[in-house]
Amino acid sequence: MILPRIHLSLYIVFIFLLLLSCQKKDIQTVKYKNSNIQIDKFISKANRFYDNNELDSAFLYYNKAKFICSPVRNTETYVHALNQMAYIQQNQGDFVGSESTAIEVISYLKYIKNPEHVWNTYIILGINYLNTYDFKNALLYFNKALVLKTPEWKKVTAKSNIALVYIEQQKYNRAIQVFDNLLAHEDIKKNPEDYAQALDNLGFCYYKIGDVKAEAYLQKALNIRLQTNDNTGQAKSHLHLAYLQKDKNPSLSKKHLILSYEKYTLVNHIDGRLTSLKQLIEDSSGKELKKYSVRYVELIDSIFEIRQKAKNQFAKMKYDSKKEKDENLILKTYRAQNELQLEKQKNRNIVSYILIFLSLSLILVLYFYLTSRGNREKIEATYQSETRISKKLHDELANDIYHTMAFAENKNLSVIENKEQLLNNLDTIYSRTRDISKENSPIITDENYCLYLKDMIIRFNTAQISVLATNIDGINWNQIDTNKKITVYRVLQELLVNMKKHSNSSLVNIDFVKTDRNVIINYIDNGKGIDINNITLKNGLYNIENRVLSIKGTIDIDSAPGKGFKAFFKFPV
């Protein structure tokens, strides 16, 4: 009986330690929560600057968010910030810097559940490699983007980029196959800008292989772009038409180049302006050649300075953030050392608390053990008292014996009727004496207990009553505690006595069941039953319940008038 108390104490110690650890986790959770709030603020600011085309400020706040992000806990936010930074660098013409930023993402993509972030990374890397003439890697990442589970328009974009790589590789026939398939795609047909772009690129490929269909495609693309007022698209269409007309109609070609330059200037597309100017220089002479050459040089100098400043600015932002992070790490190291000392002191205090707690627990266990032993001694004393009561009741039968003796003295025993009456009285006295004695006599609890229990049950069998004991031999009674065996005997005896006196039963079944932890006994008779709410045998049932509870058992009684009597009780082995 002491083991459950020890388990209880150990369980309490475990709960105590768990609460301490949870307190530490709560502190860490608060830190993580505060960090997440700061990250969300930085990302929100960066998105706002990005939408307003303030790319330098957007880059700054994406970078700040990235440096306080944990790539493990905030993977998607971390990847999103780096992708946006890489896209801003790409937008400013810093393809090498953009590649370096995007490469940081690669090792964390396997933790990303949202394929959109993965697609963005692959597309950014593909465009960087395309613009740095690394066509092999460009195709690699565009194809990786293509196989992802993404919306159809993203797959169309990936295919279009793959075709652009084929154009740069001068694999025009392969590019034509891709653009032909794209033109048949419903999503392309529904979007005039995408449809015109596919037509223009297809026309350019036909121009490159000398196919006469080129002009029709290029002109159709230009007409759509004029209708949609797409200035960037118009500039590209005029440039491609200029290439087409260069040998056939130089004046018309030059006209298209001028229009291309004007449209690129209108939308401030630097690379487009440079391409148009380069072609105008080739097709011009005299003053026009000088004019276009000066513009080209000025534009080159200007864009070089702007892009170099942007590169330096982005690099400085990343460097400053790294430097700040390194300084913070040093400060965190000092702080961690101080916290370690405090933690050690705290742990020493915890050990002291645990020792005190264990001492108190030991005292508590000892108290419960002594209390339990006292209860057992009380139970044993109760059964000894019942033995003395048995003897006393036996002695109190003297009154019946006195009346029987008086009958024998005053009656003529030669008369057969008187003789039989005397014998019946003596038999009754004997039976009552035997029953009372057996009911309260000491119970055999050794290896013969099972036989003794069966004998008690069988004694209630009569010509009118059949008592069955099922599976009584299936229980190893030698493993059962002595007090529990006594309780089982007394409870069944009282149930059977009540049955015989009050229930008018003809059939009784007592079923014994042994589980891993419990012994279960089901008592059922087919007697007249009782009203549970109006019990006349309250004291008897109360005694039965107390006996079962004294051995840590439970009992359930079910009965109704005319429906027999059922008693179910179990107790731990």
* DSSP string across 269-291: -HHHHHHHHHHHHHH--HHHHHH
pLDDT at 487: 92
Q: Given this structure, which CATH class describes domain 152-229?
A: mainly alpha
Going by C-alpha positions, the residue among 530, 527, 526 that lies closest to residue 557 is 530
pLDDT higher than threshold 90 for residue 428: no
The pLDDT assigned to 347 comes to 85
Given CATH 3.90.280.10, say whether it is the number of domain 29-150: no
Mean pLDDT of 477-483: 90
Say if residue 369's pLDDT is above 60: yes
- What is the chain's mean pLDDT, rounded? 82
pTM greater than 0.85 (yes/no):
no
Alpha carbons 408 and 415: distance in angstroms, whole number: 11
High-pLDDT (> 70) share of the chain, %: 80
Residue 514 backbone phi and psi in degrees, to 5 = -115, 125
pLDDT average, residue stretch 427-438: 64
Question: Given a cut of 80, is residue 120 above it in pLDDT?
Answer: yes
Average pLDDT over residues 175-187: 88
Q: What proportion of the chain, given as a percentage, has pLDDT over 90?
A: 29
> Which SS3 state, helix, strand or coil, does residue 519 take?
strand
Domains 29-150 and 152-229 share a fold: yes
SS3 content of the chain, % helix, strand, coil (to 5): 75, 5, 15
* Number of neighbours of residue 163 by Cβ within 10 angstroms: 25
Rounded to an integer, what distance in angstroms lies between the CA atom of residue 211 and that of residue 172?
11
Distances (CA, A) of 465 to 404, 457, 511: 30, 12, 17
70-96, pLDDT tens digit by residue? 888 888 888 889 989 998 888 888 888
User: What amino acid occupies position 224?
Assistant: I
Q: What is the pLDDT of residue 2?
A: 40
Domain ranges of the chain: 29-150, 152-229, 230-283, 442-572
The full 3-state SS of 449-494, as one line of letters, equals HHHHHHHHHHCCCCCCCEEEEECHHHCCHHHCCHHHHHHHHHHHHH
Paired tokens of 476: 């190893």
- Summarised one tens digit per residue, pLDDT across range 398-414 is 666 766 777 777 778 77
Largest CA-CA distance found in the chain, in angstroms, rounded: 171
Confidence of residue 28 (pLDDT cuts 50, 70, 90): very low
How would residue 139 be classed by pLDDT, with cut points 50, 70 and 90? very high
* Span 172-196, average pLDDT: 89
Q: Which of 19-23, 170-174, 233-237 has the lowest mean pLDDT?
A: 19-23
The more confidently predicted of residues 440 and 213 is 213
Nearest 5°: the CA angle 542, 548, 550 is 100
The region of weakest confidence among 118-122, 261-265, 538-542 is: 538-542
CA 347 to chain centroid, in Å, comes to: 31
Closest CA to 563 of 516, 533, 524: 524
Burial class of residue 158 (count of CB atoms within 10 Å of its CB; 0-12, 13-18, 19+): buried
**What integer is the mean pLDDT of 339-352?**
82
pLDDT, tens digit (0-9, with 9 covering 90-100), for 268-312: 887 888 888 888 888 888 888 888 888 888 777 776 666 666 556
What is the residue whose two structure tokens read 């230009």? 222
Q: Tokens 């400020």 label which residue?
A: 57
Handedness of CA 80, 83, 85, 88 (dihedral sign): negative
pLDDT at 39 over 50: yes
Query: What is the pLDDT at residue 114?
Result: 84
CATH superfamily entry for domain 442-572: Histidine kinase-like ATPase, C-terminal domain (3.30.565.10)
> Is pLDDT above 50 for 1?
no
The strand pair at 507-514 and 518-525 is best described as: antiparallel
pLDDT at residue 5, as a whole number: 47
Single out the residue of 515, 547, 484, 372 nearest to residue 8, CA to CA.
372
d(CA 380, CA 444): 14
pLDDT tens for each residue of 493-514: 889 888 888 888 999 999 999 9
Residue 363 has pLDDT above 60, yes or no: yes
What integer pLDDT is reported at residue 70 of this predicted model? Answer: 80
Residue 34 reports pLDDT greater than 60: no
Q: Please tell me the least confidently modeled range out of 91-100, 248-257, 465-474.
A: 91-100
CA distance 367 to 377: 15
| Interatomic CA distance for residues 206 and 176, integer angstroms | 8
Taking alpha carbons only, the member of 503, 509, 570, 485 closest to residue 540 is 503
Min mean pLDDT across 72-76, 264-268, 563-567 is at 72-76
